[in-house]
Structures are given as structure tokens and as C-alpha cells.
Chain A
């Protein structure tokens, strides 16, 4: 399992190179044919390309993570930034980060609480009130190592405790790790696993990838919200950690194809794997853009439940991840045996 390595690599949307190189290295070592397109999507072609070619199954997991981008360098040497993807500013204060391809360490700062006016206290901080501090003396000093446009990623170290895994970018390195696990196994036919770019800013890579592959069906391997927290009502918890992989019914971008949903459920049941529904219909994944490609692609989404998604560090249950891999494995076998 490469979750630890994948989690710690920087790969904010549009800057997925390090993640792509890591995966590419593995594919080369395992002798799996692969290539890249102009946008940076990485395609791994499993099997001989002939058996199961009519099925043309596409698996997809996005490589990119949410993060920040340097927008300006202040006279003082502090860096202003934009958000890349959906980030809640409240979580940013005091967060350690790495800036630029050189990985310059920094910390996100704000006016100290002592200096805040009464009306400022208790209000959530916005991007405009925050800056990245890399310890530079002034603008010139900062400009030696930083330029406007540099990407910024969270700096959380990965760790395991009990059967959980903590780290940054689990959305969606958990999906990438699952596809890498699947690619090491044997299957009776061929399929293509795509590691996509720029999902977090509107599923842009997957759109091009699906057009290129023109698949007959697709399964997106993702992470999804687990809001099983003490102060969240049961009806709003979406998914629960430890209760198995989650199947999407619908979100803002996709109504999951009924035959794919039924098959996923049948596979999980057949293998005796616990699973749950994603009890929420908002947000989007690569599933939406893939299903809308060309003449239409029956598409499903399976996710590892994950707490604190899009935050500096998130947490998943390794048993859910392992069970997700088993359901994906069973799904591939099943569609290869009897179609959809």
C-alpha cells in the first residue's frame, strides 16, 4: 500500500507532477503499459488490451488535492494567496504548509488574537486576512525562493493509529492508492485505470480522459465526507467511519447508473463486505463529467469515508479502504464475467 507516500506528495490541482511521477515509476516497475495526455492525465492499461476490449472499462481516481497558490509577495516578505479548490478558511490559521516546487516550509498567519478588535473576534477569518509566513526578511528575500503562481500544499505528516490513517490529501490519494493496489492484481480481461488531474476545480482532467478512452462503463474511486461527529445529527452524518465503502446514489453532477449501483451492492453482498450509502446528494466527482462524455457512459462512484475532507489533515479507516479495494476487485471480475 502506497497511501503514506502518496499522501505526503504535493499535488495541488494543475501541479500533479510529483504524484504522477510516483505512480508512473510503480507502473514501469510492474511492467504495466501507460501513457499521458496533454493535460497530464496518466493512463494505465491493464491486460493485453484485447480480452475484454469490448467492455472498455474505465476506472478513475484523481491525483490532485485542494491547496493554495501564491498571489502576491508583500513588502514585509509575507505571501498572499488564492485558494485552489474548495477550502474552508477557518481551518487555515496556523496551518503548516510547503510553498513552491522546492517545498519551502511556511506557516499561515493572521493578526494575533490580542490585537484583534472586539468586532473582529469570533468572526471567521477570510483569505484576505491571512498570509503565509516563510520567515523571509522582506520582499526581496522572499522573491529569491518564491514567485507569484507558486503552489502551496498542506504539510501534514501521515500517521496510522489503531486502524485509522491520518494525513493530508487523502482526497484522493486514497483512491490513487486503491487503483495501484488493483493494478497489481490479476484479472481475466483488460481495463484502463486513469489517474486524473484537476478534479477539485471542476473535474477537468476526467472530461478529456473519458473523451479519449470512449469507455463503455466507468467506476470512479473516490473519498467522501464522513461527518460522524458528536455534534452532528445522525441524518446529517453522510457516512460513518468503519462501516465500509460508500456507494453514491446521486450528487450534483451524476445520478449513478442503476445497473452499476445494483452490481456494486451485489458484489459487496456476495463477498460479505459491509458497505453504506453516501447519504447526501450535494457536491460532484469525476463521475459526472465521465458519464456525460460522447454518447454517454454508465458510471458509478465508490468512496472511502473520510473525516475532515479538504482540511489540512483528514482521517480514514484502513478497513474501509481495504474493503473498497475488494469491492472494486469484485466489480471488475463481475463485469468481465457477465457484462453490466
Chain B
């Protein structure tokens, strides 16, 4: 899984431009011998196991991450940009970025009277271009960039700028690898697009699949750092979470009960998650068509939507264990 995580976090994939992540996943799925793999019109990657429409479970992890889009190129060669997804502006000055075409850049900041006045219009990207002409040779309006923050490891913890949600993608891929052919009910795994801009991929793919149950696999915030910005009881390294609620979904009690029962029975560590801000693909899945009982499993992650997103390898391993046990249980 570590090798997959390294490659997945290195892949370029802001919301709306998930091609590189999708291609990597497709290649690995093909290597794993998965045969029922399709891509829909918006780019969701759909992997089905088991036939029949009975009690199909949809398990979703989004491929996209937050990013930046160039909105104008100035005379002096600096780029103006807009965020893709929810990025806190105060964390940005000095941040290194990479563009789809391999160009490197760094975010600079105009002089401001007080720090509170900082907003995106006061920031620019410097790609070391001498002027507009040179900049336009490297980058066009509409080009996208992501944090240039490849994976590093400290003890059993991993840090990368794209952990949300390549950690979820790696967990899903590893689950698929280890999942036996015989299952109590069919499962469709979906690597979704455009979660960070409003759960857009999950919404349309849930309509297509018509699942009976939904399960989102994503990262979640932790509250285990000094004076945490977000209040939550979740800690790094204490196991995957069984999500109870966030801003997008109140998880179905039958599914949260099932998740807890299975985890208890298998002695897999887990934590209960109530997230006051943020949402996940579960929010779109559970409102599809006539409604879908949906839950979510989260990998605890510090410093979400920054270049320093940190997860714990044991949490990822335990996430795989819980998913494997869940999918081999009759729902």
C-alpha cells in the first residue's frame, strides 16, 4: 500500500482534472485482474464486483484534491489565480505549487495593511517568468496547479499535499486487491471526481448505479493538536472512524451500527466521528433517487487542505481491515 500511496499522492489531480489519478488507478486495477471497470461521462471510475442488483453496496473514494486555477497573466509575468475547493487563504503565502505541465511556482503576497485583509486577490503565483510572453509560453489561463508536496514518511506517519483523498484511494485499491471473489452481496467501488467542489461526481454516479447502500471513504479532521482549529474527538493513530455526522450527511444508524459491530467483532480499533464542518461523498450518495442508507469511514488526517496533510499508516491498515470485514458481512 505504501508504494501505491507514494504514486497516488504524486499524481496530478485537482477537481475537474483527475485524468492522471484515474489512469494510474485503471492501470493498477487492470494489473489486479479487475474486469468490470468503466469510466462515466464526467470521469468517475467504476469497478464492479458480483452480479445482480440485490443489495448492491457503493463504496466511494474521491480522486480529486483541492488546487488552483490561473485566471489571468500579468504584464510582469506573475499569475493571478482562484482556488479550486476550500483552501484557507492564510496558509498560502510561500507555498510551492506544480502545474500539470511540470512547471513549478510559488505563491507570493502583495503588501497588505493588516493580516486580516489577506484574500486571494492579494496573492499571485510566481513561475519565474521574465514577462507576460515568457509566462504564456509556460502556462495558459485555465491551467491548474496543486501543492508541490510529495510524500515523506516519519515513523509510521505519512505527509503529502494530496493525502485528501489519495489516502482513501490507496485504501480502496488495497481493499479491492485483498477482497475475495465470493461476497455476500455485490459491491461497486467508485473513484469519484469533483468532490472538493461539491460532491459532484458522487451525485451522478450514485444515480447511475442505484445502490442499496452507500459508504464513503475519505479523510477527516483531527482534534489532537495544540488548541485545535476544529473541535473533534478524532485522533491520529487511533483507528479509522465510523462517521456519525458531518455537514453533508447524518449517517444511517443501521450502517453505523453494522460498522461498529463488525469492528468490535474483529477487534479493529475505531473512533466515532462527528465533524462540525465539511462534507463527503456520502452527502450526495444518500440523497440519490429515493434515498440510500449511507455511512462513511474516515482516515484521520491533520492539516487538511494544506501541503502538510498527515495520516497514520496504522489507521490506513485498519481502514482496509474494517472495509474487508464489512464487505464480507451480509448487510
Contact = CB atoms under 8 A, between A and B. Distances in A.
B84 to A, nearest CB: 7
A112 B159 CA distance: 63
B204 A296 contact: yes
Contacts, number: 68
Contact of B15 (A249, A255, A292): A255
Interface in A264-283: 277, 279-281
Contacts of A280: 71, 82
A236 B41 contact: no
B41 A297 contact: yes
B37 interface: no
Interface string B76-92: 00001010100000000
Interface size class of B (residues with CB under 8 A): 20 to 34
Contacts of B142: 249, 261, 277
A295 B208 contact: yes
Interface in B156-207: 194, 197, 200-201, 203-205, 207
Interface string B197-221: 1001101110110000000000000
Nearest to B124: A235
Contacts of A297: 41
A249 B141 contact: yes
A296 B205 CA distance: 8
A245 B267 CA distance: 61
Contact of A277 (B80, B121, B141, B207): B141
Nearest to B78: A235
Interface residues of A, number: 23
Contacts of B16: 250, 255, 258
Contacts of A236: 121
A277 B141 CA distance: 7
B40 interface: yes
A277 B73 CA distance: 12
B108 to A, nearest CB: 14
A167 interface: no
B42 A291 contact: yes
A33 interface: no
Given A255-B16, A295-B208, A297-B41, A235 B82 contact: no
B40 A279 contact: no
Interface of A: 216-217, 234-236, 249-250, 255, 257-258, 261, 277, 279-281, 291-298
